[in-house]
Each structure stands twice: as C-alpha cells, then as structure tokens.
Amino acid sequence: MASIGNSSRLTMTFYLKYRPQKLEELDSQGVRESLEKVVSSGKIPHALLFAGPKGTGKTSAARIIAKIANCEKNEKKLKEPCDKCEQCKSIAKGSNIDVIELDAASHRGIEDVRALRDAVKLAPALGRKKVYIIDEAHMLTTEASNALLKTLEEPPSHVLFILATTNPEKLIETIRSRATQILFKKASIEEVVRSLNRVVKGEKIKIDNKSLEIIAKRTGGSFRDAVKTLEQLVDEKRKLEPQEVEEYLLKHAAFDIEEFIDTLVVKDVKKALQLIEGASQKGVSMQNLLEELLLRFRGSLLAKMGVGEEESINFSKDDLIGLITLFSKAGAELKTTLIEQLPIELAVVEWCTQGLPREEETGPAPLKEAPKAQPTIITSAKAEVPGPTVAIENLESLSEEVWRQILATVRPINTSIEALLRSAKPIGFDGKTLTLGVYYRFHKERLEEGVHRRILEDVVAQVLGHPQVRVVCTLSEPPPRKEVVEEKPVLTEGEDKDIIKIAEEIFGN
C-alpha cells in the first residue's frame, strides 16, 4: 500500500486492517450467532440477504461466508475459514476471481442482470462456489429485480448469492422470500467497544474503556465510523482521556443533534436552517440526519410515557407527536426531492412558524435566505462553464479534451470533486448516462454522495450540452504507474495540493 504525503504509516485504514476475518470476530452478537447456526447446519443457503444500516459489517460478513464456502480446508465439513490457503487469502485481498462484488447502484439495469445470469452458468475457475455479493441490492430496477428472481429461484448448484441492502423494504417481496435474511442492527455500545478494543490491542494504543464508550455513543451504532474516529484521534496525536475525547468529538461533529433540537425548542428558524445547510456542505446524509432525529424524538416520547430510560427533552407529548409526524413526512419526501435537504428545511420552517401571523410568515424574515443556498451551487456550475458546451450524442468514451473541460468546470465549484475525479476515467456515454470507472472504492463512495453527485451531474450536463445527464460510477482497475504520468496533461493545476486536501477530508484533518 502507498503512503499519503509524508506520513510513514501505510494508507490501509484501521477499519480495513482490523475488519473481521472469521465469524467469531464479528462484533454484532446477533449476526454472529445467526451465521454460526447457518454454517453449523452443514449447508449454506443459495441466497442470503444481509439487511441493515451502513457500517454494521455486512460486506465483512459476506466475505467471511465466501471464505467458508471456498476454504480448501472445508471441503468435507463447513467451519471457520483457515485464512491460510490461497482461496482464503485471495478473498481477503479482494482478488479472488470466483468472488464477484457488484454495486447495484451502478449495475441496476436489466441488461446488467442478464449479463450476470449468463455468467452464473459458468463453473467456478478455482473454488467450489462462485459467490456474488450484490451491494445496495434495493437499487435494482423492477425489471432487473424480476430478472434476478428467475436466477434465485433455480440457481446452479455452484452459485451463492449474498444480497446486501440498507433498505430491504425496497426489494420486491418475491426476492426477499427466496433468500435467508440476516438482520444487521445498529451496534450496541458494548459491541462497538468490542470492535474498538481489537484495534487498540493490535495498535498498542493506550486508552481506557470510558473513552471508547464515548466514541461508541457518538458514532451512532456504526462500527466503521467508530473505528475511523479512533484512527483520527490517533493520527492527530490527541490526548485519549475521556474529557479530551468528549470535547474533540463535540467540536468536530459534522452535525450536533442536541444543538439542532435546542433550536427547535426555542423555534430559532434561522439557526436551524444554518445548521442543516452546514451539515449538507459537510456531506452529511440527510437520511441519516432524519433517522437520528426521529430516534431521539421517539426515545423522548417513550420516556414521557414511562417506557425506556432515554432523557426527556424539553417538548410536551403533543409537541413530540407533531415533530415526529412532520419529520416523518420529510423522510418520505427525501426519495423524490431534487434538493436533498429541502424537505427537512420545509419541516423546520413549518414547525418554527406555527402560530405566527400571516405577515410574519411572508415578510422579509431571514428564514427565506437559507433555502437559496443549495440552488446557488447548481447555478454557479451552469454559469462557470468555460466556452461553449459540447453537443454529444452517443460515444463509447469521452475525448480527453471534453474530460479536461469537465474537470476545469467542476474545479471552482468543488475542488474535492475534481480531486476525486483524478482517480477516475470516463468509460462510456450513451447520450443519457455517463459511466465513470473509479479506481478506489472510497473515492467511488464519495462521488456517489448526494451533494457531490448532483454537482457533478449538473456540470457534465452543461459541458455535454444535454438537459440532463445521469452519472454512474463503477469500480475500475487503475492504470499502470507509467500511464498516470503520460496522462498528466489531463489534470488541472494544483494536483499535489488538492490530492492532499481530499486525503485530509477522507482520513481526517
């Protein structure tokens, strides 16, 4: 692995370095016990459905199952993988040709599934099983889902499907009924601390359990986020005493839920909107924000009813019911909105202006300034296109000149996006969809985030001269080092500075 900047530490993050490699290392007790029962039965179902929030270990568990199914020591009896044979090693590295990981967000169409159906007929090259791990399976179109269903109903004996999803309810019922479902819940504090302790032991970090519990509480039940937070503290050489850890997390929180709730209590609409806009600019998922907010309201409502122990916040029972109703409606509208934070902003405005006279609602109050912030990003993308747009219909790939124009256009709008695009290349354009081959998974995930995706799609549409273009990202092999040098003219100025900037954003300042 290469290093970033002048750092002597390898770029492999703690989360990747210490991700579970065996069932016994899975930190979620419920998942661990469920999968142990599956394996001890002696036969792995032909289709497994891993459902749960991001960062709860779905992909790690899927790779462990793939190792168990193909481990050279498990030919006669299924048990924990040996992690020493070639099959186990190659699966752990992600280089096993019989274990195929697909992102349904990028391969969601019926043609993609038809290609998959043809591929599954072929026997494994080296292992006993061909394992297809389909991430975010709920992103498949209805037509693609129905096509996949036919394969799930009558799969070849050498094929194992593992579907992972954060939204199982969006999968068609017939697919859910054909798969054995394993539920991944948000991790408990104890489970997160267990995960962190594995890192602490391996890295010989001096930190007590109190500090680990603080990290666990602040990362919302996500193993991945908790380990990333610990790594950030270590990288910045922060003191790891409880008080210092607490202060650091409060200061660097992308979104402080308690501060936001306080603004709703006093109905400070301007500050509430500013907090939402700030969270959006930092790349906070509005879906996750809403989920955390609703969980907080629900816990407080139950506490008022004498159920649970969560601290009650300064709202009446009727207030909490109203807030839950209002923000639940915003959650439903997130699926169709063009501006991700808009439904939440509208809910805030409605809550904070309830009971105000009509003239105050329509007067020159500062609350109308905040919703304009997001569209100005899109408008600036349109206004700063250098030179005339390029009218393009159908291409197998974009020319270097057009790609340079896209990079040059996106740079003044968002330098992080341009830096991410340097680890990508256009590999296809059919007049409506631009497909990018992205060399690294974490770059792909950042480009697919709501704000980044919207800015990129708007810039591409303007440069290509189309009213609307959809950008799809797929993982692609990086070019050899010498090819990167040869293609250097494609890049814009300030390369080193911006690569360091995006590295800081990904791994922490």
Same domain, yes or no: 470 and 340: no
**Do both 30 and 176 map to the same domain?**
yes
129 & 241 share domain? no
> Is residue 1, in this structure, part of any structural domain at all?
no
Would you state the pLDDT for residue 308? 65
Residue 15: predicted pLDDT? 87
Whether residue 431 sits in one domain with residue 346 = no
Question: Are residues 304 and 402 located together in one domain of the fold?
Answer: no
Contact predicate 35/182, CB 8 Å = yes
Do 34 and 142 share a domain, yes or no?
A: yes
pLDDT of the residue at 384: 40
Give the domain range for residue 127.
14-183
Each residue's pLDDT expressed in tens, for the chain with a length of 509 residues? 222 333 334 456 898 899 999 999 999 999 999 999 999 999 999 999 999 888 889 999 999 999 999 999 998 899 999 999 999 999 998 899 999 998 887 777 888 888 888 888 899 999 999 999 999 898 888 888 888 888 888 888 999 999 999 888 888 899 999 999 999 988 889 999 999 999 999 999 999 999 999 999 887 788 988 999 899 899 888 889 998 888 877 666 667 788 888 899 889 999 999 888 888 877 677 887 888 788 889 888 888 888 765 666 778 888 999 999 999 999 888 877 878 889 999 999 999 987 655 444 344 444 334 333 333 333 333 334 444 344 444 444 577 888 888 888 888 787 778 878 888 888 888 878 888 888 887 778 778 877 778 888 888 888 888 778 888 888 887 776 544 444 444 444 455 555 555 555 555 54
CATH code of residue 59: 3.40.50.300
pLDDT at 70: 95
Give 211's contacts (C-beta < 8 A, 6+ positions apart): 240, 241, 242, 245
The number of distinct structural domains making up the chain is 4
CATH code at position 389: 3.30.300.180
Question: Is there a domain that residue 216 lies in?
Answer: yes
DSSP output for 56-117: SSHHHHHHHHHHHHH-GGGSSS--S--S-SHHHHHHHHT--TTEEEEETTTS-SHHHHHHHH
Per-residue confidence (pLDDT) for residue 222, from 0 to 100: 85
Torsion of the alpha carbons at 432, 437, 442 and 446, rounded to the nearest 10: -30
What is the pLDDT at residue 193? 94
Asked if 375 and 410 sit in the same domain, the reply is no
CA 481 to chain centre: 28
Are residues 344 and 454 located together in one domain of the fold?
A: no
Euclidean distance between CA atoms 388 and 409, whole angstroms: 12
Domain assignment of residue 5, yes or no: no
Asked if 179 and 58 sit in the same domain, the reply is yes
Instruction: Indicate whether 233 and 331 sit together in one domain.
Output: no
Q: What is the pLDDT of residue 246?
A: 83
DSSP 273-317: HHHHHHHHHTT--HHHHHHHHHHHHHHHHHHHTT-S-PPPPS--H
pLDDT at 497: 55
- Judge whether 462 lies within some domain: yes
Q: Does residue 320 share a domain with residue 264?
A: yes
- Is the domain of 349 the same as that of 225? no
Exposed/middle/buried for residue 288 (C-beta within 10 Å: 0-12, 13-18, 19+): middle
Last residue of a domain, one of 379, 401, 433: 379
Q: Where is the domain boundary, 379, 405, 421?
A: 379
The answer to the question of residue 4 being in a domain is no
Nearest to 82 by CA among 371, 97, 90: 90
Sequence-distant (≥ 6) Cβ neighbours of residue 32 within 8 angstroms: 23, 24, 26
